[in-house]
């Protein structure tokens, strides 16, 4: 299928989570009585509300692992975490903007979510926790993916998060009726049947993009769902850790770099190619027309981005893992310690490391040096 048959139904953001850190306004915190109202919501005797500015927000009976309280209004969600009297980093607010609002465009969006935050929090910082950049395209059925081959750049991507390996993806649905394909982890590409999902979960999508309800769209095709054009969504999902690698912290950073993110994901991170068993080197496979079409889409901003591993990354976690792996090795190999104090233990450990690692037949200096160079590249950018 050629790109002349493709049409963009929608392109833009579908998910946006913004986190704020600071001090909660003491008057708002005391008057909100979140603990009491959450308990009332759990008892289901009434629907409790909290005021943010002049608007009333429903208190959910549930929070999540990170945030104790959740407030809801018109699809928006505000998550609240507070430990009063401690460092402000523990007083956080997360705002999840619904897709129904994001479909209307980004104009004045920042004024809306920042107004919510300013009402309850003395701000100490703003960061984007998650963003999904999407394109809904008609004229490309999901099953056409069976003809294509996902090609990434594993050497480069091994050096950042190991977030994608060649051919590592999974799909949902029957082989003859593909519904969803997921590639990678963070970042992640999701390709799925938007028409089917909208019929099941989001019928307002048709109203937004066709100006008609789903029933009216179906009626215009004589009630035959197969005549309703196929809509496939291509969605790049990026979370906080990866966004930091692109130096995206605030919402303003994101708006400035949306085009750069889209270009990077479709050019340097992953490609969809036409599979040809006769071509052994997958890099030389021709790019699929749908991918060429997607690459040409224009979003906000026009910056070329460089993905760089943060220099100040705390390596203490790696150190803990090294100690854990080393202690497991000693226990499994039943290597005893005979030292009676810390100095004796240090000498024994040095001897064990030299004997069982550096002088072992399993130790491969070439592989070690190669891995070390790849890790150094993390701090040089890609």
Q: How far apart are CA 332 and CA 67, in angstroms?
A: 40
Q: What is the pLDDT of residue 133?
A: 96
Residue pair 287/148 in contact (Cβ under 8 Å)? The answer is no
DSSP string computed for 242-280: HHHHTT--SHHHHHHHHHHHHHHIIIIIEEEEE--TT--
Q: How far apart are CA 293 and CA 262, in angstroms?
A: 13
Q: How far apart are CA 37 and CA 30, in angstroms?
A: 12
Tokens of 82: 């507070």
Q: What are the Cα distances from residue 213, in Å, to 33, 57, 222?
A: 41, 29, 15
Q: What are the Cα distances from residue 364, in Å, to 117, 158, 318?
A: 54, 19, 21
Q: What is the pLDDT of residue 234?
A: 95
Q: What are the Cα distances from residue 346, in Å, to 73, 324, 349, 351?
A: 60, 17, 5, 9
Q: What is the pLDDT of residue 161?
A: 35
Q: What is the pLDDT of residue 2?
A: 44
What spatial distance separates the first Cα and last Cα of the chain, rounded to whole Å?
33
Helical H runs in the chain?
26-32, 34-43, 99-102, 109-120, 154-158, 194-201, 204-210, 214-219, 240-245, 251-264, 289-295, 316-332, 342-353, 365-378
Indicate the Cα dihedral angle 365, 370, 371, 377, nearest 10°: 150
Phi/psi of residue 153, nearest 5 degrees = -115, 75
Profile the chain (382 residues) by mean pLDDT over runs of 10 residues: 73 94 85 91 90 94 87 95 57 91 92 93 86 94 84 46 37 60 84 86 78 83 82 93 91 93 90 84 86 90 66 61 79 77 81 82 79 61 40
Q: At what angle do helices 251-264 and 109-120 cross, to 10 degrees?
A: 140
**Which letter does DSSP use for residue 168 in this model?**
-
Q: What are the Cα distances from residue 205, in Å, to 189, 215, 298, 354?
A: 21, 12, 22, 63
Q: What is the pLDDT of residue 253?
A: 93
Q: What is the pLDDT of residue 317?
A: 63
Tokens of 302: 């026009």
Q: How far apart are CA 341 and CA 52, in angstroms?
A: 60
Q: What is the pLDDT of residue 314?
A: 55
Q: What is the pLDDT of residue 157?
A: 37
Residue pair 10/195 in contact (Cβ under 8 Å)? The answer is no
Residues 6+ apart with CB under 8 A from 239: 129, 130, 186, 187
**Which letter does DSSP use for residue 115 in this model?**
H
Q: What is the pLDDT of residue 299?
A: 87
Interior angle at CA 92, CA 54 and CA 32, nearest 5: 40
Q: What is the pLDDT of residue 48?
A: 94
**Model confidence pTM above 0.85:** no
Cβ neighbours of 306 (radius 10 Å): 14
């Amino acid at each position: 299928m050629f790109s002349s048959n493709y049409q963009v139904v929608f392109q833009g953001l579908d998910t946006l989570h913004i986190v704020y850190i600071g001090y909660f306004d003491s008057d708002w915190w005391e008057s909100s009585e979140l603990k009491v109202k959450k308990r009332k919501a759990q008892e289901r005797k009434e629907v409790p509300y909290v005021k943010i500015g002049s608007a009333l927000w429903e208190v959910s009976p549930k929070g999540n692992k990170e945030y104790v309280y959740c407030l809801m209004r018109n699809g928006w969600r505000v998550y609240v975490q507070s430990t009063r009297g401690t460092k402000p980093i523990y007083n956080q607010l997360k705002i999840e903007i619904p897709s129904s609002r994001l479909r209307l465009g980004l104009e004045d969006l920042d004024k809306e979510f920042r107004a919510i935050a300013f009402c309850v929090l003395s701000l100490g910082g703003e960061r984007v926790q998650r963003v999904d950049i999407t394109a809904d395209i008609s004229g490309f059925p999901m099953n056409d993916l069976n003809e294509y081959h996902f090609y990434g750049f594993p050497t480069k991507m091994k050096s950042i998060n190991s977030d994608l390996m060649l051919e590592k993806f999974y799909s949902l649905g029957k082989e003859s009726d593909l519904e969803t394909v997921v590639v990678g982890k963070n970042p992640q590409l999701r390709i799925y049947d938007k028409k089917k999902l909208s019929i099941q979960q989001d019928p307002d999508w048709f109203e937004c993009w066709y100006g008609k309800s789903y029933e009216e769209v179906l009626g215009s095709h004589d009630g035959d769902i197969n005549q309703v054009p196929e809509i496939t969504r291509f969605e790049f999902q990026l979370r906080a850790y990866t966004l930091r690698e692109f130096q995206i912290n605030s919402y303003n950073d994101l708006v400035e770099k949306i085009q750069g993110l889209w270009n990077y994901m479709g050019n340097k991170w992953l490609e969809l190619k036409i599979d040809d068993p006769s071509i052994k080197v997958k890099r030389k496979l021709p790019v699929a027309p749908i991918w060429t079409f997607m690459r040409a889409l224009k979003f906000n901003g026009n910056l070329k981005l460089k993905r760089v591993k943060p220099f100040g990354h705390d390596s203490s976690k790696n150190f803990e893992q090294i100690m854990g792996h080393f202690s497991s090795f000693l226990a499994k190999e039943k290597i005893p310690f005979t030292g009676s104090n810390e100095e004796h233990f240090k000498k024994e450990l040095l001897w064990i490391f030299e004997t069982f690692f550096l002088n072992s037949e399993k130790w491969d200096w070439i592989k070690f040096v190669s891995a070390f160079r790849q890790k150094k590249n993390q701090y040089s950018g890609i």
